[in-house]
Structure 1
Amino acid sequence: MQDHSVGRPMKVREHRKHRVKEKSSRKLSSELLALTMANWNPLKFKLDANTPFCQILGSPEFPLLSKEGDVMIGGAFSIHSKITQPPLSFTKKPSRLICSSVNLREFRFAQTMIFAIQEINKSKYLLPNVSIGYRIYDNCGSTLSSMRAVMALMNGDEWTVGKSCSGQSAVHAIIGESESSSTIVLTRTTGPFKIPVISHSATCECLSNRKEYPSFFRTIASDLYQSRALAQMVKHFGWTWVGAVNSDSDYGNNGMAIFLAAAKEEGVCVEYTEKFHRAEPEKLMKVVEVIRKSTARVIVGFLAHVEMNNLLEKLSLHNITGLQFIGVEAWITADSLVTPTSFSVLGGSLGFAVQKANISGLDDFLIKDFWGTEFKCKETNGDTNAETATCKENQDLIEFKDNDDDVAELRYFSNIYKAIYAVAHSLHSLLKCSESQGCDRMIKVTPWQVVESLEQVNFTINNGDRVWFDSTGAAVAKYEVVNWQRGSDDSVQFKPVGYYDASLPPGKKFVLKTEAIMWPGGKTELPVSVCSERCRPGTHKVLQKGKPVCCYDCMPCAEGEISNSTGCN
């Protein structure tokens, strides 16, 4: 690995290489076989005792966006979401996997990372004489590409790096990824090298294990709180009979397991629990059929936004509407789900969302400034060939140059912003920076020192939000409760109707404004979802054999007995 220490002379050099275009196949064995044949490995080795330099084996993996600095921060996002596996002939080196379908939200994450870095580089108070550089990779929604990206982030992209192969990581910290499964791959790979990973939206409770993930941090809360809050919400509205669907992933499986345990404690019965993966259309159809035949009118969807989009398409196709969806932060405010027909399925949905936070200047950067400073897409009167070359290489991204439809609902960008600032504050402390004398540029900072420093950070960003990490490396649990409603202009709005704050005392953590909620079908009356109606006076409950405790028959009391809330006596 090469040495990116602060003590070396600063380079100002921009890499605007072609984006990663590999994608994974459905089966890991095929991916690994393709990897072996494709000569992709960016690890550097001395080939033999006579080799004078440490050389890369195979071709370097270039970032989508990069800029050199005194210290380097890596980024990994699913800027494209669809993958195509070329056929494997086993007679020649496989072609590179093809990446398509821009995920605008993920692209905004990369833009926000650059915005925060540029803002810090202009600051006279934070790292005053030290510049931050970045290497941002597109993993195309593939675990395979995630592995490629993380190996490149650790090793850099130079063909020859010197006489030693045991240098420091090419980056001091990595921001990403968005989904828990990819983040687990990233964190397990970087863990032995003690490189800090800070995720903005990986919420799986499994990542709270400090023994397994000692270098992992996140500017979002664990799903431990969200899953329990989901059960409390269901109980609050008297829904004792619900269905449950989750992504077949670390995120979905862990989150649903916590919800089911909490629901049982709250006395809520679950009619069915189904799960599917985005690459399993057969299982998805089974889920749709179960939902269609069920009697529960409430569905808890612990789904990533990709799986939720797949389920939404099938429910719309089969005209399954009128159900009450309870959602999680991964999809409840996802603009990608808003289509002309989606409201018939998801209208009235309730769920927990990441709180909005205003970052001054970010909107203008996302819509205007980025294209001029990064892709150099501004038109000029002179020869524009040099300026537009990068634009042509990334034409599918350029199509979103003037798109601002999603900016108002960007809820995760503050988490990216906080993550970058957390690294900057850690480096500021390690480099003994002061406003009067600047930073000691001769100090060589290692990633493991950044890990230790991150555990101590405690600062406030410009909008007043406080940033610190708890003992598991996570942020405090704060959610906004939102409701899918129609606006006066017939647009779909994610209207705030409450909040959840785990830092508040018991009894004050959860607040709901029931009168502000619009239920499925545009109704104002609370929907009912129970297995059995409450028994009338003169009858008592008799549990149905083989059914949950929420399912019972109401039998008349014997002569001479009366009924109360528990039975006859």
Structure 2
Amino acid sequence: MDGDYVIGGVFSIRYYEQTEMHNYTTIPEPHKCTGRIDTCELRYSRAMVFAIEEINNSTELLPGIRLGYQIYDSCSSVPLTIQVAVQLLNGLDQEFYTRDNCSQSGMVTAIVGESGSTSSISMSRIVGSFNVPQVSHLATCACLSDKQQYPSFFRTIPSDQFQADALAKLLKNFGWTWIGAVRSDSDYGNNGMASFLLAAQKVGICVEYSESLHRTYPRSRIQRVADVIRRSTAVVIVAFAAASEMRLLLEELLLQPSPPRQWIGSESWITNPKLLKFSFCAGAVGFGIEQAVIPGLKEFLLDLSPTKVAASPVLTEFWEKAFNCRLGKSAAIDERVCDGTENIRTLNNPYADTSQLRITNMVYKAVYAIAHAIHNTMCQDTNSTANCDKFTRIESKHVFTQLKKVNFSKNGYDVSFDANGDPVARYELVNWQKSESGSIEMVAVGRYDASLPVGQEFLINRNITFLGGEKQVPVSVCSDSCPPGTRKVLQKGKPICCYDCIPCPEGEISNTTDSLDCFPCTEEFWPNEERHTCFPKPVEFISFDEVLGIILAAFSVAGACLAIITAAIFYGHRTTPIVRANNSELSFLLLFSLTLCFLCPLTFIGAPSDWSCRLRHTAFGITFVLCISCVLGKTIVVLMAFRATLPGSNVMKWFGPAQQRMTVVFFTFIQVLICAVWLGLSPPFPMKNLTTFKERIILECALGSAIGFWVVLGYIGLLAVLCFVLAVLARKLPDSFNEAKMITFSMLIFCAVWITFIPAYVSSPGKFTVAVEIFAILASSFGLILCIFAPKCYIILFKPEKNTKKHLMNKNES
């Protein structure tokens, strides 16, 4: 249709280009389109005509200006698209009329199209050189946003970059990290999948396989892609493909069904009603262009009479195939002639289906965007009217400049372009759901708006059904999530989504799912058995509440009671010969020191504190020295007493009671001095032992100065050895005069206990170190009291007849 300004239109109305065999002897025939008509593309071209007629009838937009159009079929062929682009730039041949007005010649003002990304790329490289704006309704390749290569390209449909990001976020939202990928082997599929894979990688999604296909491929290639899908482990498949390629793939999968798969579709096929017949794709989810309502379009599409149809070769072909008749007189003998009774309203095909206008609205908006650009170039708006000078000639570059600035609303939908010529990205989230009748229908379950803040782009307002019509979200992962307490270790040679779950090492935890690392607990904390939480370590020490503490305390008190009872027996029989003969004063002092020795372990039981740590070691050292000093004194007395019985000996006057007391005080004072220096320079102190056991804390008394401890212990050992040597020397003296044998046995036990104590003390772990020390104290104390005093008590209590001076002087018969 002619007009003051002509808009070009390029659509892929047919599927294929007719293949010609050239013999190089004649001029080749022009390229022709063949194959059946795509009724959706036919509707797009008719929507362009509808929009232009609507604009021509408008009094607000381009009043007094008539737009014309030139619409071509490129049949998705790059060579034909280039031919069409050149034709649109050259314009029609000049035709002169006798009237004043003449038809416009030269290039078109702007172009609507093309339907495919590959064809749009080819066209844009040509028309862009002449600053002719091109507004596509369906070319979504993100590469077309590059203004360096495609400076005059605009589109009313969002770029695939936005769709790729949305698909990646959709997968992440449902926890699908292990997917298969299928794409069209075209600029649309390859660039769209590349954008998607990049976005998916950023959110941690892995691809098991990525296969491509094209409608021109042999069937063997399609079969190979289908076999890969059947053998794969990924449940979710993302298909960035055109509807024609998806139809071929789904038909192949229908022959030999694969395990259930969750399909995630790109806009190109997920909203195509022709593919709803594949029931095994029920539950498919994807993004589609927002639905729209275009008032009056349905009536326009159905307003076709045989006269109007005959004026257009494309409509003629469409009409004849739809009603299986021939228009005109060219019908063959066996063909039915269209008699004019055909009613297009009775047809059931996508041409007149305006229930889900998506891409059609993109065409509609593209025409209006060009009209607004022309209006802004040649019209001046004053008040509420517009004055347009139809005789002002404008060039396409002026329209190109104004097209960048358009911003209007039509039928409730905003139209504008950013610096890359892209619109604001808004999608519907489409779900293929089974109806009650068992058929598959498209249901809008949400929306995606890229202009909203991060994290708020999604709005899901209806229930989604997944593969098999189930409402439960399927699982598609290479490896199950690693629970807290484990960490991920990648499997060699596989993507990052394939990993093994390794338990955290001892002392470390992970408290999140799919943790990459485990981290150690702080010093005073330890993991639980599952190793996902740090708990305070149990504090361990010998307490009065536990069995070990109770047993040791009982023996300690029992030993002290035994010493007191022994002292009471000795005191009650203090006038008897056996008590008087064994140096009663040193005996009572020895029993007193043994009582302190037995009570000393009580300071080792309980939680260590400053006073208990200082008291336990010093009290132990001083009381034992006092005890050994008394034994040493008794041993010396025995030796001196025997020497005193020798003729001419006067030794006992040098070791009388006063000297015995001084000996005990002297030896004890040395230990007191050692303990005082130890406490003054580096005293024992309570500490938390975190190194012996990793999983618990040992409360113990640090020695402060190890030298001080071993000097105290060594001094006790020195006195014990000296006492043992003296007792051994006196062991063969007559029993009537001494207790040397008893002292010898007691010192033998004492030395044996403390010699074995040293390695046991060093090697015992935790609180058992303290237990070993307590055991050594009690064992040596019981050894002394039993060896030295038990025989005497036995005689006093059960053999009183032996407790006589005559018996002691060996005057009675044995």
Q: Would you call these one fold, judging by a TM-score over 0.5?
A: yes
State which of 502, 505, 508 in structure 1 corresponds to 2:450. 502
**Distance change (3 Å), C-alpha of 1:319 and 1:440:** same
Measure how far apart 1:438 and its partner are: 3.9
Alignment-derived partner of residue 543 in structure 1: 490
Q: 1:553 to 1:388 in 2, by over 3 A?
A: closer
Alpha carbons 1:127, 1:433 under 8 Å: kept: no
- Counterpart-to-counterpart distance in 2, 1:405 and 1:90: 42
- Alignment-derived partner of residue 141 in structure 1: 76
Match of 2:191 in 1: 254
Residues 274/394 of structure 1: CA separation in 2 closer, same or farther (3 Å cut): closer
The residue type paired with residue 259 of structure 1 is: F
Q: Tell me the CA shift for residue 551 of structure 1.
A: 0.9
What secondary structure sits across from 1:516 in the alignment?
coil
Do the aligned partners of residues 420 and 561 (structure 1) sit closer, same or farther apart at CA in structure 2, a change above 3 Å counting? closer
For 1:451, the equivalent position in structure 2 comes to: 400
Query: Are positions 1:288 and 2:288 aligned together?
Result: no
Aligned-partner residue type, residue 180 of structure 1? S
CA contact (8 A) 1:219 1:419 kept: yes
In 1, Cα distance between equivalents of 2:59 and 2:374: 15
Max Rg structure: 2
Count of residues paired in the alignment: 483
Shift of 1:528: 0.4
Residue 526 of structure 1: aligned partner:
473
Q: Does 1:234 align with 2:171?
A: yes
Please say if residues 375 and 391 of structure 1, whose CA atoms lie closer than 8 Å, have aligned partners that are also in contact.
Answer: no
Aligned residue identity for 2:54 = E
Shift of 1:476: 0.4
- Check whether the contact 1:168–1:446 (CA below 8 A) recurs between aligned residues: no
Counterparts of 2:269 and 2:27, CA distance in 1: 39
Q: 1:198, CA displacement in angstroms?
A: 0.3
Where do 1:331-370 residues align within 5 Å? 331-339=269-277, 342-344=278-280, 346-366=281-301, 368-369=302-303
| 1:127 CA drift (Å) | 1.1
One-letter amino acid of the structure 2 residue matched with residue 495 of structure 1? V
Is contact 2:33–2:75 with CA below 8 Å preserved after alignment? Answer: no
Matches for 1:76-91 after TM superposition, within 5 Å: 76-91=10-25
Amino acid at match of 2:376: S
Equivalent residue letter for 2:232 = S
Distance 1:242 1:389, change over 3 A: closer
Look up the SS of the partner of 1:504 in the other structure: coil
1:405 Cα shift? 4.4
- The worse-fitting range, judged by mean Cα deviation, of 301-310 and 448-457 is 301-310
Tell me what 1:206 maps to.
Answer: 143
How far apart, in 2, do the equivalents of 1:210 and 1:389 lie?
37
Alignment match, 1:376: 308
Determine which of 432, 438, 460 is the counterpart of 2:379: 432
Residues in 1 aligned to 2:95 and 2:375: alpha-carbon distance in whole angstroms:
31
Q: Which residues of 2 match residues 158-177 of structure 1 at below 5 A?
A: 158=93, 169-177=106-114
1:410 to 357, 369, 372: 357
Consecutive unaligned residues in structure 2, runs of 5 or more: 98-103, 324-342, 521-814
Question: Which AA in structure 2 matches 1:295?
Answer: T
AA at the equivalent of 1:149: V
Please give the alpha-carbon distance, in whole angstroms, between the structure 1 residues aligned to 2:297 and 2:198: 41
Deviations 1:245-302 (A, max 9, x none): 1111111111111111111111111111122222123432222121111100001111
**C-alpha distance in structure 1 between counterparts of 2:400 and 2:483, whole Å:** 61
Which structure has more relative contact order (CA 8 Å, sep 6+)? It is 1
The 3-state SS of whatever aligns with 1:312 is helix
1:493 aligns with 2:441: yes
- 3-state DSSP class of the match of 2:447? strand
SS at structure 1 position matched to 2:246? helix
| Aligned amino acid, residue 465 of structure 1 | Y
Q: Residues 283 and 539 from structure 1, CA distance in 2 versus in 1: closer, same or farther, beyond 3 angstroms?
A: same
Whether the 8 Å CA contact 1:71–1:133 is kept in 2: the answer is: yes
Q: Which has the higher helix share?
A: 2
The Cα shift of 1:387 comes to: 7.2
Q: Who is 2:459 aligned against?
A: 511
TM-superposed deviation, 1:160: 8.0
The 1-side partners of 2:378 and 2:505 are apart by: 82
Alignment match of 2:42 (pick from 83, 107, 111): 107
Q: Measure, in 2, the Cα distance between the counterparts of 1:238 and 1:464.
A: 35
In the alignment, residue 308 of structure 2 is paired with which amino acid?
Answer: K
* Conserved? CA contact 2:434–2:440, under 8 Å: yes
Q: What does 1:296-335 correspond to in 2, within 5 Å?
A: 296-335=234-273
Question: What CA distance in whole angstroms lies between the structure 2 residues aligned with 1:106 and 1:191?
Answer: 24
Partner in structure 2 of residue 186 of structure 1: 123
Asked if 2 retains the 8 angstrom alpha-carbon contact of 1:243 and 1:299, the reply is yes
- What percentage of residue pairs aligned between the two structures are identical? 45
Once the two structures are superposed, what CA deviation does each residue of 1:85-110 show, in whole Å capped at 9, x if it has no partner? 13222232334545121111111100
Q: 2: distance between equivalents of 1:390 and 1:545?
A: 59
Given that residues 176 and 205 in structure 2 are in contact (C-alpha distance below 8 angstroms), is that contact kept between their aligned partners in structure 1?
yes
Taking structure 1 as the reference length, the TM-score comes to 0.80
- Contact 2:92 2:105 (C-alpha < 8 Å) held by counterparts: no
TM-score (norm 2): 0.56
Query: Residues 194 and 397 (structure 1 numbering): CA distance in 2 closer, same or farther, change over 3 Å?
Result: farther
Q: 2:5 aligns with which of 71, 96, 115?
A: 71
CA contact (8 A) 1:460 1:467 kept: yes
Q: One-letter code of the match for 1:534?
A: S
Could you say if the C-alpha distance between residues 440 and 118 of structure 1 is closer, same or farther in structure 2, counting changes exceeding 3 Å? same
Kindly indicate whether the alpha-carbon contact (under 8 Å) linking 2:239 and 2:265 is maintained by their aligned counterparts in 1.
yes
In the alignment, the residues of structure 1 paired with residue 317 and residue 236 of structure 2 have an alpha-carbon distance, to the nearest angstrom, of: 46
Amino acid in structure 1 at the alignment position of 2:134: V
User: Matches of 1:122 and 1:302 in 2, distance apart?
Assistant: 40
**How far does residue 535 in structure 1 lie from its aligned partner after superposition?**
3.5
CA distance in 1, matches of 2:497, 2:68: 58
Q: Which residue of 1 aligns with 2:370?
A: 423
